Amino acid sequence: MALLDSIGSPRDLRGLSPEQLDELAAEVRDLMIRTVATNSGHLGPNLGVVELTLAIHRVFDSPHDRVVFDTGHQSYVHKLVTGRHADFATLRKEGGVSGYPSQSESEHDIVENSHASTSLSYADGLAKAYAIRGEDRHVVAVIGDGALTGGMAWEALNNIAIAKDSRLVIVVNDNERSYTPTIGGLATALTSLRTNPRYEQVLDLVKKRLNAVPGVGHAAYDALHAVKKGMKDALAPQGLFEDLGLKYVGPVDGHDRAAMEQVLANAKRFNGPVIVHAITRKGQGYDPALRHEADQFHAPGPFDVQTGAEKPKGKIWTDHFSEAIVDLGARREDVVALTAAMMHPVGLDVFASRFPERTFDVGIAEQHAVTSAAGLAMGGLHPVFAVYATFLNRAFDQVLMDVALHRCGVTFVLDRSGVTGDDGASHNGMWDMSVLQVVPGLRLAAPRDVTRLRELLDEAVQVDDAPTVVRFPKGPPPEDVPAVDRVGGADVLVREGEQDVLVVAVGSMCTTAVDVAARLTAQGIGVTVVDPRWVKPVDPAIIELARQHRLVVSVEDNGRVGGCGATLLQALNDAGVRTPFRLHGIPQEFLDHAKRDAILARIGLDAQTIARDVVESVTALDQGPTLVEVDHTA
């Protein structure tokens, strides 16, 4: 029987010998590699934290002690030793194990938000709550060096530093090899000394006695303290953290499980917040990942286990944007690009190689990126900030008050908009068209295909007195959907029969709407399908089309509340258009992980469901008058 089969909870780890723990680590790596090779997922980060995670669970008592993972990219090992290894083959599949921590899966998971730089704030609150309630519990926050680039992490550290009674251990998982691990007896001794509660007591006693010596006491203490701090700074880069008033331990080799256990045990004994600096390597234990220069297999698609070669895949929306922004940069020297630590995922890597002086990676700092973009625009450039749609939520205030208020010409390119699927609730980009509707002057485009992506991006960067947005989904784009006519700024995609039904389709839902039209036409229902192209502001031509039809149907891959359909309905109301209305969008709920098509079918955004609803609505119209309706069942 494999060792992993005997691990039902983290407490089972404590009875294993060092040799058995090494064997377990190998089993864990092998299972993760084989699973991700089939299912896709986050591999590199998880390979890098095997020993670190085992050490955490051998030293701390989860779930009594709480372990909070920042982003959750590195939580697979945690899942495997907390009773989920038997189901791990279902990783990221519908109804299976989530790719991030999940409260519904296990009592060992407390935070499932996969947006970065949040763990320290969660941990700060938890530790303070336990201190106030008098509970003997520790909190461990595992945060990567990348997540530490986020401003929210430093806001948290600023507060953690003064929470002297918080039993909080912060494990900084540094996988960028910024520092050489400090090794040897002196480093180990200093680490033990610095985390021993008696250390601070002795320092206080020495300080009091030296300062009591007339004339030379203060100078003697300052000199002694400087020598101590100088020795420590020479051995480890803790100055930044200790200047905040935080106890620092490390750096320590995160792949040396025994060393990690010793350091964590020392940190646990210190009655106050401690930072443990662990040096790890993404992809550790799997040569193809270590050799993968771009991101050490951060999140590969399906691949061959033996060679690491990823299976061939076609071009996705991101690839086409990458080509378009490079072409744009070649034509316009004022175009600059920004990313928040997502250079490759959002397709800016090629632009960066061509125009390095015009590319800015600001780290995981979306708020800073947006306001910096405003400054670039004020300076006479046109910035393009490429970001996942779900991550723009973090910078809404900056979009509203720093860009829009000042009428700055900034273009936001939102990748992974709408239903993204496998990554679960936190990654679905279903909020952007609702939250951005309230921004005065902002213009929002949703291309239906690659040709429209290039077209709308070109139009967006020509706007220099307001923010513009271009959003597109995850995955491969559909075949181009040609227009049969243009009405105002909108493309007419279908015009068949009488003016019975007007379908207003947004972006990636245009292909679905064309399918819906074919189904309606087959049943003798006249239909017009329009793609607004620019969904904000509402095109007056669409209002007039709505006035001419018997039924208006809006279809979007965004939340129904406050989205494009709701805004269109309001515009029709304001214009006195009383045409019955049906709104199809994403229900306002957090969607469990599954393939995009499966989720769309489940929430009623597939062609068959929409067509059936339209047929029922038209039948109801034939039977008598009806009120304006919003579909709450799809």
**Do the beta carbons of residue 494 and residue 514 sit within 8 Å?**
yes
Tokens encoding 577: 């258009």
Confidence of residue 82 (pLDDT cuts 50, 70, 90): very high
Distance CA 602, CA 586 (A): 10
Residue with tokens 């450039």: 381
How many Å separate Cα 417 from the centre of its chain? 12
3-class SS at 193? helix
Show Cβ contacts of residue 260 under 8 Å, excluding neighbours closer than 6 positions.
Answer: 51, 52, 55, 56, 252, 253, 254, 278
CA angle 347, 429, 322 (to 5 degrees): 15
Tally helices (H) and strands (E) across the chain.
24, 18
- What's the Cα-to-Cα distance from 187 to each of 43, 192, 236, rounded to whole Å? 32, 9, 9
State the catalytic residue, choosing from 394, 448, 452, 471. Answer: 394
Is the pLDDT at 160 greater than 80? The verdict is yes
Is the pLDDT at 228 greater than 50? The verdict is no
Task: Among 255, 273, 291, identify where a domain stops.
Answer: 291
Show Cβ contacts of residue 474 under 8 Å, excluding neighbours closer than 6 positions.
Answer: 316, 317, 415, 416, 418, 420, 421, 596
pLDDT on residue 111: 87
Are residues 45 and 74 located together in one domain of the fold?
yes
pLDDT on residue 135: 94
SS3 annotation, 237-297: CCHHHHHCCCEEEEEEECCCHHHHHHHHHHHHHCCCCEEEEEECCCCCCCHHHHHCCCCCC
Query: Which CATH number goes with the domain that contains 134?
Result: 3.40.50.970
Domain for residue 375, yes or no? yes
Known binding positions for thiamine diphosphate: 73, 114-116, 146-147, 175, 286, 366
Is the pLDDT at 224 greater than 50? The verdict is no
Domain for residue 596, yes or no? yes
Tokens encoding 269: 């004994």
Residue with tokens 């201190």: 131
Are residues 134 and 271 located together in one domain of the fold?
yes
Are residues 464 and 497 located together in one domain of the fold?
no
Tokens encoding 256: 């040396």
Is the pLDDT at 517 greater than 90? The verdict is yes
Strand order in the sheet with 247-253: 66-69, 139-144, 168-174, 274-279, 247-253
- Residue 385 pairs with which residues in a beta bridge? 338, 412
Region 279-301: what's the mean pLDDT?
Answer: 85
Domain for residue 410, yes or no? yes
pLDDT on residue 191: 46
Give the percent of the chain with pLDDT over 70: 87
Show Cβ contacts of residue 506 under 8 Å, excluding neighbours closer than 6 positions.
Answer: 433, 446, 531, 532, 535, 554, 555, 556, 557, 558, 564
pLDDT on residue 301: 82
Task: Establish whether 536 is a catalytic residue.
Answer: no
Task: Among 410, 442, 471, identify where a domain stops.
Answer: 471
Count structural domains, the chain. 3
If one counts every other C-beta atom within 10 angstroms of the C-beta of residue 18, the result is: 9
Is the pLDDT at 190 greater than 50? The verdict is no
CA angle 229, 120, 151 (to 5 degrees): 85
Domain for residue 219, yes or no? no
pLDDT on residue 17: 94
How many Å separate Cα 581 from the centre of its chain? 35
Are residues 606 and 503 located together in one domain of the fold?
yes
* Exposure on the CB side of residue 487, measured as CA atoms within 13 A: 20
- What's the Cα-to-Cα distance from 170 to each of 20, 65, 240, rounded to whole Å? 27, 13, 15
Domain for residue 222, yes or no? no
If one counts every other C-beta atom within 10 angstroms of the C-beta of residue 186, the result is: 11
Are residues 325 and 199 located together in one domain of the fold?
no
Q: What are phi and psi of 168, to 5 degrees?
A: -120, 125
Are residues 329 and 465 located together in one domain of the fold?
yes
Task: Establish whether 282 is a catalytic residue.
Answer: yes
Host domain of residue 529: 490-623
Query: Which CATH number goes with the domain that contains 531?
Result: 3.40.50.920
pTM over 0.85: no
Are residues 374 and 342 located together in one domain of the fold?
yes
Known binding positions: 73, 114-116, 145-147, 175, 286, 366
Domain for residue 253, yes or no? yes
Are residues 78 and 123 located together in one domain of the fold?
yes
Distance CA 162, CA 331 (A): 52
pLDDT on residue 565: 95
Tokens encoding 202: 């002795």
Are residues 407 and 467 located together in one domain of the fold?
yes
Higher pLDDT, 560 or 182: 560
Region 184-207: what's the mean pLDDT?
Answer: 47
State the catalytic residue, choosing from 79, 366, 416, 454. Answer: 366
Are residues 459 and 497 located together in one domain of the fold?
no
3-class SS at 493? strand
Are residues 186 and 283 located together in one domain of the fold?
yes
Domain for residue 308, yes or no? no
**Do the beta carbons of residue 362 and residue 353 sit within 8 Å?**
no
Is the pLDDT at 306 greater than 60? The verdict is yes
| DSSP characters over 427-449 | G-B-SHHHHGGGSTT-EEE--SS
Are residues 179 and 49 located together in one domain of the fold?
yes
If one counts every other C-beta atom within 10 angstroms of the C-beta of residue 376, the result is: 22
CA angle 85, 91, 96 (to 5 degrees): 90
State the catalytic residue, choosing from 282, 448, 582, 596. Answer: 282
3-class SS at 133? helix
Is the pLDDT at 494 greater than 90? The verdict is yes
Region 334-345: what's the mean pLDDT?
Answer: 94
pLDDT tens figures, 33-79: 999 999 888 999 999 999 999 999 999 999 999 999 998 889 999 99
Task: Among 291, 308, 326, identify where a domain stops.
Answer: 291
2-6, 79-83, 526-530: the lowest-pLDDT one: 2-6
Domain for residue 629, yes or no? no
* Exposure on the CB side of residue 541, measured as CA atoms within 13 A: 15
